[in-house]
A = this chain, B = another copy of it.
């Protein structure tokens, strides 16, 4: 169970305590008491991990080889069945004028009708042998996947970043036929999207209502879908992922996990924690060996610099820990994927606390679960990609190396 971005730095307003040190967390503290604690560097000491690279590392993969960018995971997270070698992009629905100048990068923050627009884009014939797979995400966001032989993710972004400019010409970032071909295809895709969408019924209606039309698609962040050994095969465990955000769902998906959707899971501090708790308990009762759980609210509060909200959210999430802890014959690992300090409003490389509870762990004398108390724990300081090895070993499911 990963409390996204829960760890922090000491804050003056909290008497130089962290939000986790400040929050009343009787259940996490109980877990520290009956478990083994330590510090964990998601990647290695001082490295500022993304949620994606950290989860990849924690699941036992090497983020330096698996991680090609956010595109593939976002695409998988919104439900595209990506395949290794696919080139995936994050996209914006944007507004262009008749000269092709972007007048609104977010198309009036469009919320409805994007599924109809996506349908049209999916009908696009871009090039013989290259399949266009396009899917709307939330709001003005979407994903694009190009599937075919001879493609590359070594190409530049089309996003002009500012309004009043035309989409940037996509250029190859390396001197290969694949990169040149993909760059050309992207430029063609953008032009074709404008042609297909400028008179689209959804857009005609938007114009009538005084809204900016979503009449051009701007892709960015090309990433090749990595070859990933399915988690279930790698560890011989049947895995499932319970996550709120598309990014983490996409990681679960690409690792071959089943996904569980939770009603009202927003990924924010307003998320429905009761539904998440119910979803976890229901999933745990099924035929799974491994649950990857991500709760995102503390990270959002950190990004927004909301100190009190972060403390409160941690206190609320603590009750889920209390319920899950009641499950028997289970190894339970509680940690964060990185620190998201209130003062920084972004991820930092500070290590995070971790506790492992379950049969036969070497219980230490740590009595509280927070960034500082765990440094005297029995795990000392480990790395994210040690976790699966430790877990498999505790479960007596790993093979011996040697005689």
* A378 x B375 contact (CB < 8 A): yes
Given the known A-B contacts A10-B363, A362-B371, A371-B362, are A349 and B48 also in contact in the complex, defined by CB atoms under 8 Å? no
Q: Is A334 an interface residue (CB 8 A)?
A: no
In the complex, chain A residues 388-403 whose Cβ is within 8 Å of any chain B Cβ: 388-393, 396, 398-403
Smallest CB separation, A190 vs chain B (Å): 23
**Which residues of B have CB within 8 Å of A49?**
400-402
Q: Is A173 an interface residue (CB 8 A)?
A: no
Q: Is A232 an interface residue (CB 8 A)?
A: no
Smallest CB separation, A41 vs chain B (Å): 9
Q: Is A341 an interface residue (CB 8 A)?
A: yes
**Which residues of B have CB within 8 Å of A389?**
44-47, 349
Q: Is A187 an interface residue (CB 8 A)?
A: no
Smallest CB separation, A47 vs chain B (Å): 6
Total number of A residues with any Cβ neighbor in B under 8 Å? 61
Q: Is A364 an interface residue (CB 8 A)?
A: yes
**A interface, over-half SS:** loop
* A362 x B9 contact (CB < 8 A): yes
Smallest CB separation, A317 vs chain B (Å): 21
Q: Is A67 an interface residue (CB 8 A)?
A: yes
In the complex, chain A residues 196-236 whose Cβ is within 8 Å of any chain B Cβ: none
Given the known A-B contacts A51-B403, A360-B10, are A386 and B344 also in contact in the complex, defined by CB atoms under 8 Å? no
The 8 Å CB contact of A386, one of B44, B388, B398, is B44
* B375 x A247 contact (CB < 8 A): no
Q: Is A256 an interface residue (CB 8 A)?
A: no
Instruction: Give the CA-CA distance A388 to B364 in the complex, in Å.
Output: 29
Q: Is A83 an interface residue (CB 8 A)?
A: no
* B350 x A63 contact (CB < 8 A): no
Instruction: Give the CA-CA distance A202 to B305 in the complex, in Å.
Output: 72
Smallest CB separation, A89 vs chain B (Å): 14
Given the known A-B contacts A362-B9, A375-B377, are A401 and B43 also in contact in the complex, defined by CB atoms under 8 Å? yes
Q: Is A307 an interface residue (CB 8 A)?
A: no
**Which residues of B have CB within 8 Å of A347?**
400
Given the known A-B contacts A362-B10, A362-B372, A386-B46, are A51 and B402 also in contact in the complex, defined by CB atoms under 8 Å? yes
For residue A37, which residue of chain B has the nearest CB? B375
**Residue in A45, A348, A377, A402 with the greatest tally of chain B CB atoms within 10 Å:** A402
* A372 x B381 contact (CB < 8 A): no
Smallest CB separation, A228 vs chain B (Å): 15
Instruction: Give the CA-CA distance A49 to B393 in the complex, in Å.
Output: 11
* Residue-wise interface mask of A (14-52) relative to B, using a CB-CB cutoff of 8 A (1 in contact, 0 not): 001010000000000000000000110001111111111
Q: Is A343 an interface residue (CB 8 A)?
A: yes
A-B contacts, 27 listed (Cβ < 8 Å): A9-B360, A9-B361, A10-B362, A10-B363, A38-B380, A44-B386, A45-B383, A45-B389, A45-B390, A46-B393, A47-B389, A47-B393, A49-B401, A49-B402, A52-B403, A54-B402, A70-B403, A349-B393, A362-B371, A362-B372, A364-B375, A372-B378, A375-B377, A375-B378, A375-B380, A376-B376, A381-B382
> Using a CB–CB distance below 8 Å, which chain A residues touch chain B?
9-10, 16, 18, 38-39, 43-54, 63, 67, 70, 247, 341, 343-344, 346-350, 360-364, 371-372, 375-383, 386-393, 396, 398-403
- Beyond A46-B391, A53-B402, 5 additional contacts (C-beta under 8 Å) are A38-B380, A43-B401, A46-B388, A50-B402, A348-B393
